Amino acid sequence: MPNMLSASRGALLVVLVAAVSPSAVAGQAPPDTLRLAELLATVRTANPMLAASRLRADAATARVAQAGALPDPQLTLGLMNRPLRGFGTAEEMTMNQVELSQVVPWPGKRGRARAQADFLASAERLAATDAEVTLLSRAKGLYYDLAAMDRTLTIMQRTRELLRGFFGVTQTRYAVGESPQQDVLRAQVAVAQMTEEITVMTQSRVATVARLNALLGRNAVTTVGALTLPPIAGAIAPVDSLMAIAGRQRPALQAAHARMRGASEAAASAKREGYPDLMFSIAYGQRPQYGDMTTLMVGFTLPLRPGTRQRPLQQEMAAMAAMVGAEADDLLYETYAELTEARAEAEQARELAALYQTAILPQARAGVDAALSAYRVGQVDYMTLVESEMTVNKYEIALVRLTAQYHQAVPASTRWSARRG
């Protein structure tokens, strides 16, 4: 009997040593099949939303030339002073005429319209850039989600193998009367619970892969191999520094400023609607009975109803300019809030991860070592060892989650200082 007990205890020690060995920690995951740089490059070139944003900017750019162009000239052909009777008979006043007319907006209107269109086109280009930055940040978040899932699955699979080993040892101990049947059942339940967690995590990974593939413009079921979660880097710059960078470089803020200038140009153009547009005409007339004639004419529009057209337009444009300015202010405040929140999340994750690495995990692993020593001399039962090892695994998974949270928060807080990262 003592030999069997010694053998069962030795088998358990072998299970524990295998569970904490470097090769077991590394896991059996396949190599990384998608590098972050490759992911971001694919998003830039293959994402349909980005393509639509760039085409929208191209369309706005094409409207700039249209906005500053003159209206098309007008050509008029006429037969003048033909008698109703004998239509083909020419009289002294009969004349064949061709007239060319051109409307010219009041000076300054075309320039204002061109400037407004140019600012709006600039805003669309910046909006496309902002959409790219946002999608790249989202892609990074999904990448780190997957990397954390892969690392967590490795830990869970290692834990399940450990629990299966414990279950085998428990059966041996129960067979020799060292452990009650309740311990065997508890070991079975522990294995089943870990299998459940692995199943949930695996299916969550499938859903996350589908979302990532959508950003990459490819089929949802396209395979993405195991990804690597990088370690946590250093502290992030203060919020004021990040905000100063965002104020200079965030495309959405720059786009808002461009829309403000465009709205100001629209308001200035609306004021000029009270000025008349000019029309220049030149006509050539041919009279069979007399010499040919040339006519030069200058006309202009009469804005006689400012209360029903020009003034309401001015009020509309002024309200639009004020609205765009309010939206720009709101975006500025929202940017500050986003940066503050993202930096706080990143710093919290970094500090807690450091706590896990320097205190919590070392203490938990020391607890496993102490439980092993006590088990060797029969001072604790095997469930104490199981609980100690499960505690370590729980803290390892928590560290993985904190690392992922850090990497997901950092792009949100620094994406405007490194757009191409």
Do β-strands 293-300 and 95-104 pair in parallel, antiparallel, or remain unpaired? unpaired
Predicted local confidence at residue 63, as pLDDT: 85
When comparing pLDDT for 206 and 130, which is higher?
206
Residue 55: other Cβ atoms inside 10 A = 12
Banded pLDDT at 263 (limits 50, 70, 90)? confident
Per residue in 135-184, pLDDT tens?
A: 888 899 999 999 999 999 999 999 899 888 878 887 887 888 877 888 78
Q: What is the mean pLDDT of residues 310-328?
A: 79
Per residue in 179-221, pLDDT tens?
A: 788 878 888 888 898 999 999 999 999 999 999 999 998 899 8
When comparing pLDDT for 409 and 18, which is higher?
409
* Residue 63 vs residues 24, 110, 115: alpha-carbon distances, Å: 62, 13, 11
Compute the distance between CA of residue 46 and CA of residue 200 in angstroms, rounded to an integer: 30
* Residue 395 vs residues 176, 265, 355: alpha-carbon distances, Å: 34, 59, 11
| Contact (CB, 8 A) for 116 and 269 | yes
When comparing pLDDT for 1 and 322, which is higher?
322
**Residues for the chain: how many in total?**
421
Question: Residue type at 317?
Answer: M
| Contact (CB, 8 A) for 57 and 117 | no
* Half-sphere CA count of 419, side-chain side, radius 13 A: 16
When comparing pLDDT for 406 and 384, which is higher?
406
Banded pLDDT at 13 (limits 50, 70, 90)? very low
Predicted local confidence at residue 21, as pLDDT: 38
How is the chain split into domains, by residue range?
Answer: 2-70+118-273+309-414, 72-104+276-303
Per residue in 225-258, pLDDT tens?
A: 888 888 888 777 888 888 887 777 778 788 888 8
Coil, helix or strand at residue 68: coil
For the beta sheet containing 278-286, the strands, ordered from the edge strand earlier in sequence to the opposite edge, are 74-80, 95-104, 278-286, 293-300
| Contact (CB, 8 A) for 43 and 135 | yes
Predicted local confidence at residue 308, as pLDDT: 66
The two tokens of residue 123 are 């805003």
Predicted local confidence at residue 9, as pLDDT: 41
The DSSP line for 270-311 is HHHTTSPPEEEEEEEEE-SSS--EEEEEEEE-----TTTTHH
Q: What is the mean pLDDT of residues 347-354?
A: 93
Contacts 24+ apart (CB under 8 A), 78-82: 80/285
- Using alpha carbons, select from 59, 44, 33 the residue that is nearest to residue 123: 59
Predicted local confidence at residue 84, as pLDDT: 67
Q: What is the mean pLDDT of residues 333-358?
A: 90
Compute the distance between CA of residue 152 and CA of residue 155 in angstroms, rounded to an integer: 5
Compute the distance between CA of residue 343 and CA of residue 339 in angstroms, rounded to an integer: 6
Class of domain 2-70+118-273+309-414: mainly alpha
* Half-sphere CA count of 269, side-chain side, radius 13 A: 22
Beta bridge partners of 104: 278
